[in-house]
A and B are shown apart, each in its own frame.
Chain A
Amino acid sequence: MEFSEHIKTANVEDVVLRQPLHPPGRGTLCITGHHLLFSDREEGSCRQVLLLLRNIDAIEKSGVCRLSGSSGTITIKCKDLRVLQLDIPGMEECLNIARSIETLSCLDSMSELYPFFYRPSSASLRDQWGLSSLERHYSQMKELHDRWRLSTVNRDFSVCPSYPQAVIVPKSTDDDMLEKVAKFRQGGRFPVLCYYHKKNGMVIMRSSQPLTGANRKHCREDEQLLQAVIDGSDKGYIIDTRSSQQALQARMTGGGLESKSCYSSWKRLQRQMERGKALQESLIKLVEACGEESNNMDRWLSKLENSKWLSHVQTALSTAGLLAECVERDGHSVLVHGSEGTDSTLLISTLAQLIMDPSCRTLEGFLTLLEREWVQAGHPFQQRCAHSAHSHARLQQESPVFLLLLDCVWQLWRQFPLALGFSEALLLRLATEAYASDYGTFLGNNQQERCALGVKENTHCLFQALLRPRERDCYSNPLYEHTELAIWPSVYPQSLQLWRGFFLRWTPQTHHLEEAQEEIRNMVIEWGKLALSSCPASTRRSEDVQNM
């Protein structure tokens, strides 16, 4: 298919662009297969705006007919929550542009997406793709080798389509067993290791729900696998991210939960977390409340409450806290699942790792964690991030789980400004990239799809790009100080705040806060330099500053 089919009008002159935080500009608008390009033709200015069409969530058209000729206005609402306005002379041009944007912003075929065409001069397709793999992860974790093994039972994605080719499982379970267990778990997502707590040898496992169904089937192999996990310990916990009622109801549709009789040494904890459509609606409500220019305090607070977004943040953090508590303080292994095991499950296992494991809290460590727990573990990015809060399209599989994760991480970052090695800018960048990206990292729903598309061979990797020296400067936290301790977040309502950097990103006030961040960065850099030049004893710290 040719993109040009969809572009009737490629260029319009004399367009006025209005965007937040900038004065309106007049210039030329240009539509290409993947981008909207605006270049300012005003004297003394050479501003250009390059917007990925994929970033556009919704557009609204309105027209004015005047004697001097008609003109139209297109309001563009982006997935990064920016709202732009284009005043286009000529009604026909306006409609053509709108039509092109509508079609090109939600192309169905993944192979037509921009990452397959993005060829920056600074990188080559032969560069390393991704930061790590499970094979590498396993080989680095020597502690694991006694009791755990790397299984390639899923090498052709036939056992579980949403798992990567290699997974880590208890040594005592062989591949035949795994195949049987996979049949007993939704989507074949059998229990696999996701985190090993070095301090006490306890682990976090994750899976999907067991398919017990109405007649309470059970699976010997599944029970054996889990027993092998807690081998030598008195018990383990299962954290189910659904309420007891939801879990029981799931039996009607073939799902279910681990019964006490079959899994006697496992204690089940039900913690209901909102998912799917409800989460998406929550985001829509919040974004709507933030966009409203009302001056009424009561209205704002009641809309904020009504959106329930902060409640979801609270629930996610406290469930993750509970999980970390079981492992770190209580010293037991935990299995996490909800129903599919691709959303809330990943959310809390990721947060729990950030809380407990200092190696996840560096810039590199965090990106590796995301790669392992979200990209490789099969969070369906393509489905979840197809649309964001502005879209009028009928909701299908959209759900801002990843965004919720980033919000929770931001809350951690705010509560422990010295403990995390990355900056808020990184979280904002990831929030944008997950929805529309030049890179192939978040393409597709799982490794299988990515393999089929040749993502590795034909696109560039975001995580690698974020770690290049210039980006690293911007995305690292100048205040970072390594600590071995767990960072227990406070989940008290007053401790949690609206993530202004994201939700109110396009309001003028964030500017002052950014200035403050810049000031902090400069202070620390200045300090590092001075320390280096005048006090040799302090080089240790200065090196840290340089390495960040």
Chain B
Amino acid sequence: MEHIRTPKVENVRLLDRSSGQRKASIGTLYLSATHTIFVENNPETRKESWVLHSMVSSVERTPTIPAGSQVILRCKDFRVFQILVPQERDCLDVHTSLVRLSRPEKYSELYCLSFNPNVNKEERQESWSFMDLTADYKRMGLPNNLWVSTAANSEYRVCETYPSELFVPKSATPPIIVGSARFRSRGRFPALSYFHQDTLAAVCRCSQPLSGFSGRCQEDEAMLQALMKANPGSDYIYVVDTRPKLNAMANRAAGKGYENEDHYTNIKLHFIGIENIHVMRSSQQKIIDVGEMRFPSMTDFLYGLENSGWLKHIKAILDAGLFIARAVADEGISVLVHCSDGWDRTAQACSVASILLDPYYRTIRGLMVLIERDWVSFGHKFSHRYGHLDGDPKEVSPVIDQFVECVWQLSEQFPCAFEFNERFLVAIHTHIYSCQYGTFLGNCQKERRDMRLGERTHSVWPELWKERAQYTNPLYRAEQSQSQGVLRPNTTPYCFKMWKGLYNHAEKSTPPRQSPADFLSTVREESQQLEEELANQQERIAALNGEPITWEKVLRRRTSRPRPPPLRAGPAVFYTDPTSSPAQEPPPPRRISLCSRPGVGSRRLLHCCLRGQRPLLWLEGGLFLQ
């Protein structure tokens, strides 16, 4: 609280660019220890906007004009708030406070550690036990006579950033593991990421070898040999270096680099060319700018999209995943994936490959497990990459954003293959940045253990699981051909689109203005209810024809199964904005259109939704009818 200079400022104007309001609303601004809160003065709506301090990526102050001066809040979920404060002094105070509040210096200042909801200990422990990676390895059929769990890294002795439990080939003895770890950047030796039961081929990951121009290491060579032997059907493995070849070569001068094919027998080296975190950071900034353009022409937009290079990078990651998936599923060849440190591009490539290979990871629970395994447990540096604490801005990069977007691009290509919808992906994205839960805090498992996060915070996964009804894709059918087996996406450039649901905030509620998904969810739910009802009725008829049925039974059934709600419940959820918090109300009707005729029930809501529509661009040009 000591950072808050002015907890309350009255008569400020808020321009919420993310919801596309044209006119600023007047209200009061509050600064709390955890949130910036704006409450509208309008007594009818009293609309509140809450922004978590940890979601703020930058705070900007514009030069003073007679009406006051502006503070611009840019959020990590790409929302932008412009706040006009009448008094310059207040503005300065707000700005200074927010700058400090949005850049916590210690973990203890973060929301999940500073804010303790009163829940009991058991509940908290239960929340952490929701995620069980051992069960996932078991699901893959591990351990078996090819792959075993190793205790080499217990207490994080061999590699600080790896999890304590890892799977390695059966023939990889502790000396081989330790030797190999010494020859790998940051000790990240080859370990299993995914085992494909159908072909017995595996996806493994590590960091770059410390080979320089001529270095070699017998244990590391033995380790790769062991990987190959762990796949009985094959006589070589692929080593996928996800970096551009030039970068990999440059690393040799620093005593790192890539595997020399002369030293390792039976490997095939393959470079993918995913750019590094610095390129990705600036590329994302460019695409955010594209999303923020006020009145772009189609040419401006497409040029900006091309110039950002963002889709090119997304494509590279998907291509990497596809290469691995094909090797494993079609050729039955194991793949070892690495980049430099093996925690960014490697995590992207491995997790995309898993999504393509295994339908389980396309379910709600499966995606959580996948992120927990390939990202959280394998030491992806969440706190550094997503700027949880005030630190080196060069460490920040949208690495997992890109993975999440790859999943979204896939779901656009295979609308029936994923159990979850866009909203789920956006929710995960938000929580990675928000620090409301302990799941993504810190940079590796060891750090999280040392911070005792399990005792002090909650896990995000059970919370998301509880909300799964709103994250379900109504078109998903587990048994359908599209959902089964290996996904083989087309990665021709025209298959990629800008992810509007995440980046487009200048006009968020479009399109679709109407959401068929929500409509279908309702349809599906009702169909299920009706089906049950029908089965029930048939049972009763059968019972009535055969043995007599007692009235108690019928009555009990009646009360236990209420009649389905009126069928047109659907439109009530049209136009819900997937990224806005549930607490936010739909925008108030701004302009009463001539044709509005209040209907009944849900229909009326639909009308309201349509009336509360966004401004129109041909109007916003300011040329006409203003």
Selected interface stretch from A69-77, A108-116, A452-460, A488-496: A488-496
Q: Is the CB of A329 within 8 A of B594?
A: yes
A416 at the interface (CB under 8 A from B): yes
Q: Is the CB of B523 within 8 A of A495?
A: no
Chain B proximity of A425: nearest CB distance (Å)? 16
A-facing residues in B279-322 (Cβ within 8 Å)? 291, 296-303, 305-306, 309, 311-312, 315
Q: Is the CB of B494 within 8 A of A498?
A: yes
Chain B proximity of A414: nearest CB distance (Å)? 6
Chain B residues with Cβ below 8 Å from A419 are: 514
Taken together as a complex, chains A and B put the C-alpha atoms of A527 and B332 apart, in Å, by 43
Selected interface stretch from A25-33, A127-135, A295-303, A438-446: A295-303
Taken together as a complex, chains A and B put the C-alpha atoms of A235 and B618 apart, in Å, by 20
Chain B residues with Cβ below 8 Å from A498 are: 494
B541 at the interface (CB under 8 A from A): no
Taken together as a complex, chains A and B put the C-alpha atoms of A269 and B597 apart, in Å, by 31
Q: Is the CB of A527 within 8 A of B490?
A: no
Q: Which of B315, B414, B530, B610 meets A527, CB within 8 Å?
A: B530
Most chain B beta-carbon contacts within 10 A, residue among A290, A293, A325: A325
B571 at the interface (CB under 8 A from A): yes
Q: Which of A294, A301, A418, A516 meets B302, CB within 8 Å?
A: A301
Selected interface stretch from B26-34, B75-83, B460-468, B504-512: B504-512
B-facing residues in A456-493 (Cβ within 8 Å)? 479, 481, 483-488, 490-493
Q: Is the CB of B568 within 8 A of A541?
A: yes
Q: Is the CB of B298 within 8 A of A496?
A: yes
Q: Is the CB of B301 within 8 A of A293?
A: no
Q: Is the CB of A301 within 8 A of B504?
A: no
Q: Is the CB of A299 within 8 A of B607?
A: no
Chain B proximity of A20: nearest CB distance (Å)? 13
Q: Which residue of B lies closest to A313 (CB)?
A: B298
Size bracket of the A interface: 35 or more
B482 at the interface (CB under 8 A from A): yes
Q: Is the CB of B496 within 8 A of A531?
A: no
Q: Is the CB of B563 within 8 A of A535?
A: yes
Chain A residues with Cβ below 8 Å from B616 are: 321, 325, 488, 491
B-facing residues in A489-543 (Cβ within 8 Å)? 490-498, 500, 504, 507-509, 512-513, 515-516, 519-520, 523-524, 526-527, 530-531, 533-535, 537-538, 540-541
Given the known interface contacts A310-B302, A490-B617, the answer about A515 and B416 at a Cβ–Cβ threshold of 8 Å is yes
Chain A residues with Cβ below 8 Å from B306 are: 297-298, 301-302, 305
B498 at the interface (CB under 8 A from A): yes
Q: Is the CB of B524 within 8 A of A523?
A: yes
Q: Is the CB of A304 within 8 A of B507?
A: no
Selected interface stretch from B380-388, B395-403, B531-539: B531-539
Given the known interface contacts A490-B511, A520-B475, the answer about A534 and B533 at a Cβ–Cβ threshold of 8 Å is yes
Q: Is the CB of B625 within 8 A of A527?
A: no
A11 at the interface (CB under 8 A from B): no
Q: Is the CB of B527 within 8 A of A523?
A: yes
Given the known interface contacts A301-B493, A325-B616, A534-B534, the answer about A513 and B513 at a Cβ–Cβ threshold of 8 Å is no
Given the known interface contacts A297-B312, A325-B616, the answer about A485 and B523 at a Cβ–Cβ threshold of 8 Å is no
Q: Which residue of A lies closest to B596 (CB)?
A: A485
Taken together as a complex, chains A and B put the C-alpha atoms of A326 and B616 apart, in Å, by 13
Chain B residues with Cβ below 8 Å from A328 are: 593-595
B567 at the interface (CB under 8 A from A): yes
Chain A residues with Cβ below 8 Å from B205 are: none
Taken together as a complex, chains A and B put the C-alpha atoms of A267 and B283 apart, in Å, by 46
Chain A residues with Cβ below 8 Å from B301 are: 493-494
Chain A residues with Cβ below 8 Å from B296 are: 492-493
B214 at the interface (CB under 8 A from A): no
Q: Is the CB of B494 within 8 A of A290?
A: yes
B-facing residues in A161-185 (Cβ within 8 Å)? none
Q: Is the CB of A321 within 8 A of B291?
A: no
Q: Which of A310, A325, A527 meets B527, CB within 8 Å?
A: A527
Chain B proximity of A448: nearest CB distance (Å)? 36
Chain A proximity of B499: nearest CB distance (Å)? 10
Taken together as a complex, chains A and B put the C-alpha atoms of A483 and B607 apart, in Å, by 8
Taken together as a complex, chains A and B put the C-alpha atoms of A416 and B492 apart, in Å, by 28
A-facing residues in B448-483 (Cβ within 8 Å)? 474-475, 477, 480, 482
Chain A proximity of B491: nearest CB distance (Å)? 8
A103 at the interface (CB under 8 A from B): no
Taken together as a complex, chains A and B put the C-alpha atoms of A520 and B521 apart, in Å, by 11
A276 at the interface (CB under 8 A from B): no
Q: Is the CB of A481 within 8 A of B571?
A: yes
Q: Mark A251-276, 1 if CB is under 8 A from B, else 0.
A: 00000000000000000010000000
Chain A residues with Cβ below 8 Å from B415 are: 512-513, 515-516, 519
Q: Is the CB of A330 within 8 A of B625?
A: yes
B497 at the interface (CB under 8 A from A): yes
A415 at the interface (CB under 8 A from B): yes
Chain B residues with Cβ below 8 Å from A496 are: 298
Q: Is the CB of A479 within 8 A of B519?
A: yes
Q: Mark A7-50, 1 if CB is under 8 A from B, else 0.
A: 00000000000000000000000000000000000000000000
Chain B proximity of A485: nearest CB distance (Å)? 5
Q: Is the CB of A486 within 8 A of B498?
A: no
Chain A proximity of B516: nearest CB distance (Å)? 4
B606 at the interface (CB under 8 A from A): yes
Q: Which residue of A lies closest to B523 (CB)?
A: A527
Q: Is the CB of B520 within 8 A of A523?
A: yes
Taken together as a complex, chains A and B put the C-alpha atoms of A326 and B623 apart, in Å, by 13
Chain A proximity of B72: nearest CB distance (Å)? 21
Q: Which of A298, A322, A530 meets B530, CB within 8 Å?
A: A530
Chain B residues with Cβ below 8 Å from A269 are: 624
Q: Is the CB of B593 within 8 A of A490?
A: no
Q: Could you list 25 A-B pairs, sorted by A, with CB under 8 Å?
A: A290-B494, A297-B493, A298-B312, A300-B494, A301-B302, A302-B306, A304-B302, A328-B593, A331-B594, A414-B511, A415-B510, A415-B513, A416-B512, A417-B515, A418-B514, A485-B595, A490-B507, A495-B510, A516-B475, A519-B475, A520-B520, A523-B474, A534-B530, A535-B567, A541-B568
Closest 5 CB pairs of A and B: A493-B301, A300-B493, A415-B511, A516-B415, A305-B302
Known A311-B299, A492-B506; further 9 A-B contacts with Cβ < 8 A: A269-B624, A300-B493, A310-B298, A415-B511, A483-B610, A490-B510, A520-B516, A523-B524, A531-B526
